[in-house]
Amino acid sequence: MLGMKSLALRNPDLAWEALCRLDKARRNRLALSLMAFNPPRDIHNRVRSFVFSDSIIVFTMSDTDDDLMAIVILVGELIARPLHYCIPMRGGIAHDRFLFNLEHSLGVGPALVRAHSLSEGAQWLGICVDQEVCDHAIRIPIQSGGHPAIIPWLVPYKDGRTTESLVLDWVVSHRNNWTVKLPLGVKQFHQPFERFFGPFEDLPDDVRRKYDNTVRFVNNRLLEQCPPDTQTAGE
């Protein structure tokens, strides 16, 4: 979750409310029945998750096509659904070893380190993925309405560089959630978050840039994929 550190220091009660909303979104999405086809099968039991402070750690039980489809679908839901609860998220998906004990909510491994590295420096609300995840998704393939689930995008980072990265196209996969006229304005996008983080004008410059970079991605993906007479944008 973006902004939790400053929120917890400024208003612990609001931080607790935000954390509860995040967990509600997680439990709501984990209850989904995730279906794959050819042949039809339920794949939602391929993923597990637990919460560590303001982070949701999601991992698969194995290394099959069904595992990858399940985590790609679920992670897309875990950035889109928290938006309904006014919670901004970013994350990463990496392929590697992950050791866990669900009973004690323990987990460690290079997959977690790499996923954290993919997401931590990115200045936006979005999901970066590694090359191995992307290559596997292309082989399956994983798509939404004929559009690839993972695309290249120029992602801005904290150190000032902008690098072409592989990202989850969660905007297009959730295109039916967006219901107001395009192009979406950055203040319009941020307005639902004001309860927790205050007016857009009062945010630090680097935080404002995260929302601005996100809105550029949202507008690009929706304007490119929606016919001109039906272009709408987000809640």
SS3 184: coil
The alpha carbon torsion through 39, 94, 55, 67 (nearest 10 deg) reads 20
Structural domain includes residue 26: yes
Name residue 127's amino acid: I
CA 64 – CA 142 distance, rounded (Å):
13
Residues 6+ apart with CB under 8 A from 16: none
Structural domain includes residue 67: yes
How high is the mean pLDDT of the chain?
A: 92
Answer whether the bond into residue 156 is a cis peptide, omega within 30°: no
Structural domain includes residue 154: yes
Query: Whole domain around residue 58: which residue ranges?
Result: 4-173
Structural domain includes residue 234: no
Provide the number of structural domains found in the chain: 1
Question: For residue 140, how many other CB atoms are within 10 A of its CB?
Answer: 14
153 touches 167 (CB < 8 A)? yes
DSSP conformation letters of 98-146: -EEEGGGTEEESHHHHHHHHHHHTB-SS-EEE-HHHHHHHHHTT-EETT
Name residue 52's amino acid: F
CA 14 – CA 99 distance, rounded (Å):
33
SS3 40: coil
Residue-wise pLDDT for 27-55, tens only, equals 998 888 888 887 888 898 899 988 888 99
Structural domain includes residue 28: yes
Structural domain includes residue 202: no
CATH number at residue 44: 3.30.70
Question: How confident is the model at residue 33, as a pLDDT?
Answer: 83
Structural domain includes residue 158: yes
- Which residues, given as ranges, of the chain have pLDDT below 70? 226-235
Residue-wise pLDDT for 139-159, tens only, equals 999 998 889 999 999 999 998
Name residue 2's amino acid: L
The alpha carbon torsion through 106, 107, 113, 119 (nearest 10 deg) reads -70
Structural domain includes residue 72: yes
Question: pTM of the entire structure?
Answer: 0.91
